[in-house]
Amino acid sequence: METDFEALVHRFEPAELFYKELTEKKAVGGEIYREYLKSLDREQLERDGLVVPDILPPTRRFPEYRSIFPENADIAIWKHSRYTPVFMHTHDYFEIICVVEGEAVNRFEGGEPQKMVPGDVCILPDGTVHELSVMSDEGIVLNIMLKKSTFRYVFFDVLSSDDLFSRFFHDALYGESGTPYLYFRAGSDPDVANCIKSMFLEYYNHRKYHEKVTKGQVICLFAYLLRGREQYLLAGGEQKKLELLEYIRKHFLDVTLESAAADFGYSSAYFSRYVRKLTGRTFSETVIELRMEAAMRLLRTTSLPVNQVSEITGYRSEEHFTRQFKKMNGMTPSAYRGGNKKE
């Protein structure tokens, strides 16, 4: 059983040695490179699944087939082979790119190259067209592949009690405007780094119950990333929206349109239009939704009386709170608690 993560990921696999030689020959170019290409066995390259774009058109679309996911598996974790020739491609599964050491360059179709450094994690939904470049001995990048159904179940289950932010991340991944991806810059966050390393070793060693352990580790990874989103998240051009939601979350007990507008440096009228443009809701609707989410969590997880829940979530009148709650949820707070109380 492999336990030395550093030794394992720095070891040059046969494919990496081949790609490094290919890269060096291509850099020389001319007749030397042409003769090198002639010396390669095309059929052997195809059997080994090696990418040499100058003599073999690379696969542009990767479906959820068995060579990616072992039989009955929902998750696969590989080290990205250093020096792999760069080409645009897409896949029918979710891919999570994790930079452990060195640098990588990720580029989306029609977009500018994005340099990724240690601690960067990029989540790509199925259908995203991109290319990934890791062109140094020091570049250690791990790819975590999840079947679509598994990703949606695991990722959004972590956010199940956080509806407003769940929609934010859903929109970032599936929205029609902009490039769909989530980009976390976790830096040296030890929870994220250790989780990724442990996940890779668990998958690599394939011990008994490794599938269940790995799925649990994926849940932990998402939880760590989402927990730190305020510090280091960049999300497909949606950062302003996230900053706004985080601000309202922090101040929803006493925030007003005027106070929020002043803190963001805008007039109230402009800020009102800005909020609606970013969220699709008015400022007051966004605040109410956050208050209701907090109220529902308290009703599910505590035995606090309804009047205290009302006060904690910013309502001076229990009667007003009850009316607002029933309007949004179709039942009174007491009825909601009765049907959703956690033991």
Domain boundaries defined on the chain: 57-234, 239-340
Residue-wise pLDDT for 271-323, tens only, equals: 999 888 877 889 999 899 889 988 998 998 899 999 999 999 988 899 999 99
User: What pTM was computed for the model?
Assistant: 0.79
Q: Residue 138 — very low, low, confident or very high, per pLDDT cuts 50/70/90?
A: very high
Give, in order, the Cα–Cα distances in Å from 188 to each of 12, 86, 249, 282, 313.
25, 28, 26, 37, 35
Please say if the pLDDT value at position 177 is more than 60.
no
Residue 293 has a pLDDT of: 86
Residue-wise pLDDT for 197-245, tens only, equals: 999 999 999 999 999 999 999 999 998 988 887 666 665 556 777 788 8
Please say if the pLDDT value at position 43 is more than 80.
yes
Give, in order, the Cα–Cα distances in Å from 15 to each of 22, 86, 311.
10, 14, 62
Q: What average pLDDT does this structure show over 70-87?
A: 92
Q: What average pLDDT does this structure show over 61-80?
A: 85
Instruction: Return the exposure string of 221-230: e unless at least 16 CB atoms fall within 10 Å of the residue's CB, then b.
Output: bbebbbebbe
Q: Residue 340 — very low, low, confident or very high, per pLDDT cuts 50/70/90?
A: confident
Please say if the pLDDT value at position 100 is more than 90.
yes
Q: Report the half-sphere exposure of 264 (CA within 13 A, side-chain side).
A: 24
Q: What average pLDDT does this structure show over 77-101?
A: 95
Q: For domain 57-234, is the CATH number 2.60.120.280?
A: yes
Residue 343 has a pLDDT of: 44
Dihedral, CA atoms, 158, 161, 167, 168, nearest 10 degrees? -70
Whole-number Å distance between alpha carbons of 89 and 58 = 9
Q: For domain 239-340, is the CATH number 1.10.10.60?
A: yes
Contact 114, 66 (CB under 8 A): no
Contact 224, 85 (CB under 8 A): no
Give, in order, the Cα–Cα distances in Å from 187 to each of 112, 213, 267, 294, 304.
22, 25, 35, 30, 39
Residues 6 or more apart from 199 whose CB is under 8 A from it? Answer: 77, 144, 214, 217, 218, 221
Q: Which of 20-24, 66-70, 169-173, 310-314 has the highest mean pLDDT?
A: 20-24
Residue 175 has a pLDDT of: 65
Please say if the pLDDT value at position 342 is more than 90.
no
Q: What average pLDDT does this structure show over 169-185?
A: 73
Residue 204 has a pLDDT of: 94
Residue 249 has a pLDDT of: 81
Distance of CA 288 to the CA centre of its chain: 27
Residue-wise pLDDT for 240-285, tens only, equals: 777 888 888 888 888 899 999 999 889 999 999 988 887 788 999 9
Beta strands in 212-262 (DSSP E): 233-234
Residue 149 has a pLDDT of: 85
Residue 73 has a pLDDT of: 86
Residue 236 has a pLDDT of: 58
